[in-house]
Amino acid sequence: MELLEIVEHINGGALMGVAIILLTLVQISPIKINPWDSFSEWLGKCLTAEVRDDIKTLGERVDALQDDFSSFRVDEMRQTILTFARECRAGTEHSHEEWAHVLNVSARYEAYCASHNISNGEVTADSTYIHNLYQNLSETHKF
């Protein structure tokens, strides 16, 4: 009896059983063909395709939020420097902690501008004014 005749005599369920047995034998044989691994990988990709798409979309949203937050932080630093300089020009006295804070903000803003190749005349002028005023106040011991 040839293989084709045997297959003709076997019904569908038995044929499925034979296929499973053959695939298992191929899987455990020393041959580098792993049908169950390939099938489970394919099935995993099918089942997780939507989740992977959601993760990709979420990653894009996180990137956009990080850009927005970075822009907000830069604007906040600019505003802190500009407001502090305006208050100093108006004669408002500031504590040592306030000076330390604005000088720290100014240094971070300058570093950001240098790393992103940005120039801003107003903030640079106010930052210079603040540094010079701080230097003068330090020299005259007005803290």
CB 82 within 8 A of CB 123: yes
Average pLDDT over residues 108-121: 86
pTM over 0.85: no
pLDDT of residue 102: 97
Backbone angles phi, psi at 107, to 5 degrees: -65, -45
pLDDT of residue 25: 66
* Top-confidence residue, 78 or 14: 78
